[in-house]
């Protein structure tokens, strides 16, 4: 299989064409050209027209390469520089109109997801990534993306807007002695990185992995006694100090000449060294691993080996892991969340054909089930409305903004008023997504009602469809189910409204085989 | 070594080149060469010299005119080197005509080949000549008057023309009659059996001049020939479209400054004054010729003389046996040594690729190619078969600009992506990359060469082509294409070294290693073969190596600015030049590397332009049999004593002594490959 990734980065646009060669990827072409999108976005807020034109003309050239290798699987990704540009949508649209290429703007979580999947594939023998608790740091020109992985499951991912290019510009804007400037920059970064520490207070790390493609290749120029490092190597805290000292001992030009490193690399490498140094200080690790690879290669590996990724670490499970972590952070009843998710999922699977749902829709329902009460953190009154905006502000990987809004709406409609075009967020959704929200929130209402007591009394549910299309839910349970039954009566209405069919509940308790028909 | 006058250390480039052309001339005089080959050497000599006038001499004149007055890297001021070059060139021209008149013409006569004038024609011949004049020449010639209303006509470079002084009502008028270029310079005359008779068309015109000026009184006349500055002035960095800019400049070349003027010896001084005024050329630089002007026309003569005994013994380039070129390359890398082996695999590669349904893309560079090139046709076919064809055309290849523009446009029309070179740098490397789908995997085939993709010169130039399917090569070459076309920034390469990036330094490192080895193991040695050695830094480096005791053997056909065998400078350097049947064009570099030699092929000579302003390629040969074979080739060159001259510390090229066993490298190679199927 052959695939290609076009990576619209902060400083350059890359094309990587690769082909599966056993367990490896044979890189056929690797092209890179400088396009200053990051400079535009970070310092002027938007991508200049000239830069857009430059991008398009380069992409057109790259398309010729795609034809030369008959590549059909192509992904065009963009990161921070495009993501944060005020004219992002116009940029994406212009590129699509002029080249036919659809740019996928990745968020922080996406980047980490790809890197993680790639790492586990690439390092599997050398380093069992899914048995460790890790901090993975991806150092870019625009931002530093950090994610926490526990035994292969993402706990959180954050993007900190202190990339190397931004730091350089920030440092240039400071008016002070060199020493003062470094102190200021350190304080600035410390605050940003401390956020990670505060978010996961129990954080215990086995290792830190820094992913970087721009600077690692030059490390041996600075470090005494280091040969050219391999792709994955230990970087010691002493070396981090040595690097920072040497990078800042003189003007960039002098440093460049002394250590035979291009001057433009030296200019931004200082930021790299400060960030890495700071990570050492925060994690108190004696060494960190540096992995020299690019996002484009990671995405390419994902495309080529997509079927061979470890199942248990797939996207759904990763997202569930993050959702569970959020439950902890927002002090939600995790058992309830997990149970509602399980009931929802069961309903979904048994009713998906009736409702015309696709398998990939399940993840929205699952995440909404975990997070539907997240608004309680703000206030228990109208907490469904709080849930809506909290969820829509979250950043989960491999999910677009629209998808996050779908989840937010499903969660919002787990109680009270039904979806209505008078509701702002719901109204922004595409019409097919509005229908989806209606169907999934109808299922969530029933599932949530069935655990109204938060005691997980219902162990299993079966759906029986009558010839008229009516739905009978047979629930196997134990204990007092009065509350569940009462709420079911109330919450099934939305489902009946949108399907036009009746829903009934049959409760089967272990002790009494109690039967209750609930017809209207 | 610093502080020494560069004149002491180096041979000036232009003087060295003139010495090379002198060696060509010597081949014309050498009676051991077949007669028609000697005629060809004469023609080559004179066409070489024409180019030299239009490029080098023109450049010097430009420098002088601009008032530039600094010494060049060889220690000469522009006026100083100009005077020296002019003296040498005029001397060579004199020698050339001596050989033509006293040797070649006489030897041709011995073989019953005669050049006639109108005075000594038979009646039959005279009738034919008159008929030819009336039906062919007269209708296509228009004399051009020069007077106040008609300025001196613009004559393109290399035009031969009559200047005629005519009188009407006692008033003198000047007229110009250019010798037409669209008819052969020689007319073949009806002849007795076994004889071949020719007459030059200017002789026919000379007799019939009066026909053009009825009503005028014919006074004196002379033939003259102009040569113009041929440099193109393109401000490349400010040009959007290099193709259009070069097209425009080529047109302007017609009106460029005259840099060389030849006239017939018989021309009267006052008449020459008028001519020089009209052409804006200094009278003191005019060269008087006692004989036929512009003997490049001797090339035309050769096909007319049907006598195989007067040419080199025929040979057939050895074939490389295989069924399918892709399969052959997949079996292992191999080389083709031109012209001893056939050029066919190269053409076959492109042709097969054009038709092969699994081939996705073909990329290649073209610098100089021939008319009706099978390669160009195959590329157009490939584009027709919906393959991605990218051709990097160097339209700045000197004197081939117009030709290159023509076929580059044809390629474009056929659907190829044509990239017309890049600003300020010439693409001189020769490479081809073919992308092929094999069982859903990509396999890439690479051809690299020391010489051009030119079917004609492939019969005359010695070159080495290298075929490989090694993917490291393919990646590098693919990357070179991406860099040249501006598609990508360069990334580190595994198998190739390229200029203008790091080739000079790479060689310096290799030489340094030989110096080290010499110190440690006493076995530092460098053997190299190339066309020209002119880069001063490289020469200094070689001197350094020589002084350290490294043994250096150089086979350099053309320019060599290094002075070998000089105490405390180049005692350990020997230089020889082979000028023979084939034009030596391979570039091989061999470094002893403490007994496990490293062997390289390259598209580059060791000239500053190759290192600094051209894109060139150097690559190492790792396969042992091929490495051995390239060393064998160099050794055989070194053994040659028939077509070689040694460069002496006194800066003279001398033939080797007669008492050694006679050995001709090129002839040996013909027989060698004749019973040889090449390294497998």
- Which tens digits make up the pLDDT trace of B52-81? 998 899 889 988 988 888 999 999 999 999
As separate numbers, helices (DSSP H) first and strands (DSSP E) second, chain B gives 22, 27
Q: How far away is chain A from the Cα of B388, in angstroms, using its nearest Cα? A: 6
Residues of A in contact with B390 (CB under 8 A): 64, 68
Closest Cβ opposite residue A2 in set B417, B442, B486: B442
Residue from B428, B447, B585, B634 carrying the catalytic annotation: B428
- Would you give the DSSP letter of residue B425? B
Q: Of B600, B435, B443, which Cα lies nearest the Cα of B527?
A: B600
CB pairs under 8 A between A and B: 55
CB B405 within 8 A of CB B218: no
Contact A64 B417 (CB under 8 A): yes
- The highest-confidence range among A163-167, B288-292, B386-390, by mean pLDDT, is B386-390
Determine the residue among A27, A29, A217 to mutate to test chain B binding: the one whose Cβ has the most chain B Cβ atoms within 10 Å: A29
Residues of B in contact with A61 (CB under 8 A): 485, 487
Instruction: Say what the pLDDT of residue B185 is.
Output: 93
Work out the number of other CB atoms within 10 angstroms of the CB of residue B414.
Answer: 17
Instruction: Say what the pLDDT of residue A391 is.
Output: 93
Closest Cβ opposite residue A64 in set B388, B437, B444: B388
Work out the number of other CB atoms within 10 angstroms of the CB of residue A141.
Answer: 24
**A2: Cβ contacts below 8 Å, ≥ 6 apart:** A17, A18, A19, A20, A28, A69, A70, A71, A72, A73, B440, B442
Instruction: Say what the pLDDT of residue A519 is.
Output: 42
Residues of A in contact with B388 (CB under 8 A): 64, 67-68
Whole-prediction pTM value? Answer: 0.81
Contact A62 B487 (CB under 8 A): yes
Instruction: Say what the pLDDT of residue A293 is.
Output: 82
Determine the residue among B353, B385, B470, B478 to mutate to test chain A binding: the one whose Cβ has the most chain A Cβ atoms within 10 Å: B478
**A424: Cβ contacts below 8 Å, ≥ 6 apart:** none
**Reported confidence tier of residue B193, pLDDT bands at 50, 70, 90:** confident
Higher-confidence residue of B528 and A467: namely B528
**Reported confidence tier of residue B250, pLDDT bands at 50, 70, 90:** low
Residues of A in contact with B491 (CB under 8 A): 30, 32
Q: How far away is chain A from the Cα of B483, in angstroms, using its nearest Cα? A: 9
Instruction: Say what the pLDDT of residue A317 is.
Output: 80
Contact A62 B437 (CB under 8 A): no
Contact B442 A28 (CB under 8 A): yes
Q: How far away is chain A from the Cα of B629, in angstroms, using its nearest Cα? A: 32
Supply A144's token pair: 């530093």
- Would you give the DSSP letter of residue B585? -
- Residues B20/B21/B25/B30 CA torsion (nearest 10 deg): 20
CB B252 within 8 A of CB B288: no
Closest Cβ opposite residue B489 in set A32, A62, A65: A32
Closest Cβ opposite residue B441 in set A12, A19, A27: A19
Instruction: Say what the pLDDT of residue A248 is.
Output: 81
Q: B183 vs A214, B116, B122, B284, CA distance in Å?
A: 65, 18, 23, 33
The answer on pLDDT for B438 being more than 90 is: yes
Q: A381 vs A53, A340, A371, A412, CA distance in Å?
A: 51, 21, 16, 13
Supply B232's token pair: 């193109």
Contact A19 B442 (CB under 8 A): yes
Pairing mode of beta strands B160-168, B171-178 = antiparallel
Contact A32 B441 (CB under 8 A): no
pLDDT exceeding 70 applies to what percent of chain B?
Answer: 95
The answer on pLDDT for B644 being more than 70 is: yes
Contact B388 A68 (CB under 8 A): yes
Residues 388-447 of B with CB under 8 A from A: 388, 390, 417, 435, 437, 440-442, 444
pLDDT in tens, B503-513: 999 999 999 99
Q: Of B373, B399, B597, which Cα lies nearest the Cα of B391?
A: B373
CB A375 within 8 A of CB A387: yes
Contact A69 B479 (CB under 8 A): no
Supply A401's token pair: 């903004």
Q: How far away is chain B from the Cα of A110, in angstroms, using its nearest Cα? A: 27
Angle at B593 between CA B587 and CA B596, to 5 degrees: 95
Residues of A in contact with B440 (CB under 8 A): 1-2
Contact A33 B437 (CB under 8 A): no
d(CA B20, CA B7): 19
- Residues A235/A236/A242/A247 CA torsion (nearest 10 deg): 30
Pairing mode of beta strands A287-292, B258-264 = unpaired
**Reported confidence tier of residue B238, pLDDT bands at 50, 70, 90:** low
Q: B458 vs A103, B150, B252, B406, CA distance in Å?
A: 49, 47, 32, 22
d(CA B47, CA B147): 33
Instruction: Say what the pLDDT of residue A214 is.
Output: 83
Residue of B nearest to A217 (CA): B492
Q: Quick check: helix, strand or coil at residue A403?
A: helix
CB A359 within 8 A of CB A351: no
Q: A256 vs A218, A251, A252, CA distance in Å?
A: 11, 9, 6
**Reported confidence tier of residue B243, pLDDT bands at 50, 70, 90:** low
> Longest Cα pair distance anywhere in chain B, in angstroms?
90
Instruction: Say what the pLDDT of residue A363 is.
Output: 92
Given CB atoms, is B490 within the 8 Å cutoff of chain A? Answer: no
Residues of B in contact with A69 (CB under 8 A): 360-361, 435, 442
Contact A29 B482 (CB under 8 A): yes
Determine the residue among A21, A27, A30, A68 to mutate to test chain B binding: the one whose Cβ has the most chain B Cβ atoms within 10 Å: A68
Supply B518's token pair: 């010499």
- Could you tell me which residues of chain A have a Cβ less than 8 Å from any Cβ in chain B? 1-2, 12, 15, 19, 21, 26-34, 58, 61-62, 64-65, 67-70
Instruction: Say what the pLDDT of residue B91 is.
Output: 96
Instruction: Say what the pLDDT of residue A308 is.
Output: 47
Match 């204990």 to its residue by tokens: A479
B428 is an active site residue: yes
* Residues paired with residue B530 on neighbouring β-strands, in sequence order: B556
Given CB atoms, is B470 within the 8 Å cutoff of chain A? Answer: no
Closest Cβ opposite residue A34 in set B361, B482, B489: B489
Residues of B in contact with A214 (CB under 8 A): none
Contact A29 B417 (CB under 8 A): no
Low-confidence ranges of chain A (pLDDT < 50): 307-309, 513-520
Determine the residue among B488, B492, B494, B505 to mutate to test chain A binding: the one whose Cβ has the most chain A Cβ atoms within 10 Å: B488
The answer on pLDDT for B248 being more than 80 is: no
Contact B488 A28 (CB under 8 A): no
Higher-confidence residue of A158 and B519: namely B519
Q: How far away is chain B from the Cα of A293, in angstroms, using its nearest Cα? A: 15
Supply A202's token pair: 């129990």
Alpha-carbon B210 to chain mean position? 41
């Amino acid at each position: 299989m052959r695939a290609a990734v076009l990576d619209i980065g902060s400083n350059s646009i890359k094309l990587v064409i690769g082909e599966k060669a056993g367990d490896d990827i044979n890189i056929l072409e690797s092209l890179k050209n400088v396009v200053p999108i990051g400079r535009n976005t970070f310092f002027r807020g938007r991508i200049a027209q000239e830069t857009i034109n430059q991008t398009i003309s380069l992409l057109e050239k790259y398309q010729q390469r795609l034809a030369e290798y008959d590549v059909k699987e192509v992904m065009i990704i963009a990161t921070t520089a495009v993501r944060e540009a005020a004219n992002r949508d116009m940029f994406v649209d212009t590129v699509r109109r002029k080249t036919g290429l659809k740019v996928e703007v990745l968020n922080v979580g996406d980047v980490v997801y790809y890197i993680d999947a790639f790492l586990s594939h690439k390092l599997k023998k050398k380093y069992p990534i899914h048995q460790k608790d890790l901090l993975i740091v991806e150092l870019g020109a625009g931002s530093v993306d950090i994610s926490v992985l526990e035994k292969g499951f993402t706990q959180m991912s954050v993007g900190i807007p202190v990339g190397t290019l931004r730091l350089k510009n920030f440092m240039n804007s400071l008016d002070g002695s060199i020493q003062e400037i470094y102190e200021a920059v350190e304080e600035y970064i410390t605050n940003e990185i401390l956020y990670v520490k505060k978010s996961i207070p129990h954080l215990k790390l086995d290792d830190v992995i820094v992913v970087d493609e721009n600077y690692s290749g030059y490390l041996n120029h600075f470090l005494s006694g280091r040969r050219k490092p391999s792709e994955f190597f230990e970087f010691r805290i002493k070396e981090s100090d040595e690097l920072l000292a040497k990078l800042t001992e003189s003007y960039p030009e002098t440093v460049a000449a002394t250590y035979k490193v291009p001057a433009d690399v030296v200019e931004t490498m200082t930021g790299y060294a400060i960030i890495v140094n700071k990570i050492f200080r925060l994690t108190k690790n004696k060494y960190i691993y540096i992995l020299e690879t690019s996002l484009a290669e990671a995405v390419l590996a994902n495309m080529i080996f997509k079927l061979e990724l470890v199942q248990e670490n797939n996207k759904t499970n990763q997202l569930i892991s993050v959702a569970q972590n959020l439950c902890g952070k927002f002090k939600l009843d995790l058992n309830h969340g997990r149970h509602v998710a399980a009931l929802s999922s069961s309903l979904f699977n048994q009713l998906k054909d009736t409702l015309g749902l696709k398998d990939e829709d399940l993840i929205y329902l699952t995440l909404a089930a975990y997070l539907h009460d997240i608004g309680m953190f703000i206030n228990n009154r109208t907490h469904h409305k709080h849930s809506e905006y909290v969820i829509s502000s979250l950043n989960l990987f491999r999910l677009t903004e629209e998808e996050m809004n779908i989840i937010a709406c499903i969660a919002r409609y787990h109680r009270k008023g039904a979806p209505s075009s008078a509701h702002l967020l719901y109204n922004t959704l595409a019409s097919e997504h509005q229908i989806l929200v209606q169907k999934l929130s109808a299922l969530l209402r029933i599932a949530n009602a069935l655990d109204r007591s938060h005691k997980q009394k219902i162990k299993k549910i079966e759906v029986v469809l009558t010839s008229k299309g009516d739905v009978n839910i047979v629930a196997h349970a134990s204990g007092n189910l009065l509350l569940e039954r009462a709420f079911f009566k109330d919450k099934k209405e939305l489902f009946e409204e949108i399907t036009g069919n009746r829903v009934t509940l049959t409760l089967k308790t272990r002790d009494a085989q109690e039967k209750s028909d609930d017809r209207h | 070594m610093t502080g020494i006058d560069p004149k002491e250390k180096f041979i000036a480039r232009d003087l060295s080149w003139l010495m090379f052309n002198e060696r060509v001339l010597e081949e014309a005089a050498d009676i051991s060469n077949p007669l028609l080959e000697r005629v060809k050497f004469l023609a080559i000599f004179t066409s070489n010299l024409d180019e030299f006038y239009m490029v080098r001499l023109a450049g010097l004149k430009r420098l002088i005119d601009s008032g530039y007055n600094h010494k060049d890297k060889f220690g000469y001021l522009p006026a100083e080197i100009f005077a020296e070059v002019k003296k040498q060139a005029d001397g060579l021209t004199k020698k050339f005509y001596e050989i033509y008149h006293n040797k070649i013409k006489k030897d041709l006569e011995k073989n019953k080949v005669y050049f006639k004038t109108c005075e000594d024609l038979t009646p039959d011949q005279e009738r034919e000549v008159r008929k030819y004049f009336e039906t062919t020449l007269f209708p296509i010639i228009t004399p051009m008057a020069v007077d106040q209303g008609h300025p001196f006509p613009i004559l393109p470079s290399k035009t031969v023309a009559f200047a005629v002084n005519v009188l009407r009502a006692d008033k003198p008028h000047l007229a110009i009659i250019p010798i037409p270029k669209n008819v052969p310079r020689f007319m073949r005359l009806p002849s007795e059996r076994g004889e071949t008779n020719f007459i030059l068309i200017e002789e026919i015109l000379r007799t019939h001049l009066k026909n053009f000026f009825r009503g005028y009184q014919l006074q004196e006349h002379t033939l003259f020939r102009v040569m113009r500055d041929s440099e193109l002035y393109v401000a490349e960095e400010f040009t959007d479209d290099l193709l259009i800019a070069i097209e425009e400049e080529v047109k302007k070349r017609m009106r460029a400054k005259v840099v060389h003027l030849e006239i017939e010896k018989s021309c009267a001084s006052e008449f020459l004054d008028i001519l020089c005024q009209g052409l804006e050329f200094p009278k003191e630089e005019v060269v008087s010729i006692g004989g036929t002007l512009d003997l490049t026309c001797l090339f035309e003569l050769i096909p007319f003389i049907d006598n195989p005994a007067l040419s080199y013994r025929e040979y057939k380039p050895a074939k490389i046996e295989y069924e399918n070129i892709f399969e052959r390359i997949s079996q292992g890398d191999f080389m083709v040594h031109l012209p001893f082996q056939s050029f066919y695999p190269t053409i076959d590669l492109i042709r097969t690729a054009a038709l092969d349904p699994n081939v996705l893309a073909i990329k290649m560079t073209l610098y100089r190619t021939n008319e009706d090139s099978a390669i160009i046709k195959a590329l157009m076919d490939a584009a027709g078969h919906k393959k991605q064809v990218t051709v990097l055309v160097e339209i700045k290849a000197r004197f081939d600009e117009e030709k290159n523009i023509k076929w580059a446009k044809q390629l474009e029309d056929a659907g190829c992506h044509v990239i017309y070179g890049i600003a300020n740098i010439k693409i001189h490397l020769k490479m081809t990359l073919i992308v092929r789908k094999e069982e859903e995997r990509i396999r890439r085939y690479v051809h690299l060469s020391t010489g051009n993709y030119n079917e004609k010169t492939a019969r005359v130039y010695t070159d080495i082509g290298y075929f490989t399917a090694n993917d490291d090569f393919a990646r590098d070459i693919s990357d070179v294409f991406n860099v040249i076309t501006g598609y990508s920034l360069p990334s580190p390469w595994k198998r190739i070294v390229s200029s203008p990036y790091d080739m000079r330094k790479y060689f310096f490192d290799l030489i340094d290693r030989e110096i080290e080895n010499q110190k440690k193991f006493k076995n530092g040695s460098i053997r190299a073969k190339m066309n020209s050695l002119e880069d001063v830094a490289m020469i200094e480096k070689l001197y350094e190596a020589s002084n350290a005791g490294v043994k250096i053997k150089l086979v350099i056909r053309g320019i060599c600015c290094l002075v070998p065998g000089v105490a405390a400078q180049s005692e350990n350097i020997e230089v020889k030049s082979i000028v023979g049947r084939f034009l030596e064009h391979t570039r091989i570099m061999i470094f002893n590397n403490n007994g496990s030699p490293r062997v390289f092929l390259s598209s580059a000579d060791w000239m500053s332009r190759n290192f600094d302003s051209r894109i060139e390629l150097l690559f190492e040969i790792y396969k042992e049999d091929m490495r051995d074979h390239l060393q064998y080739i160099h050794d055989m060159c070194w053994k040659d004593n028939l077509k070689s001259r040694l460069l002496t510390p006194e800066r003279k090229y001398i033939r080797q002594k007669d008492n050694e066993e006679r050995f001709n490298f090129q002839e040996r190679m013909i027989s060698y490959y004749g019973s040889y199927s090449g390294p497998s």
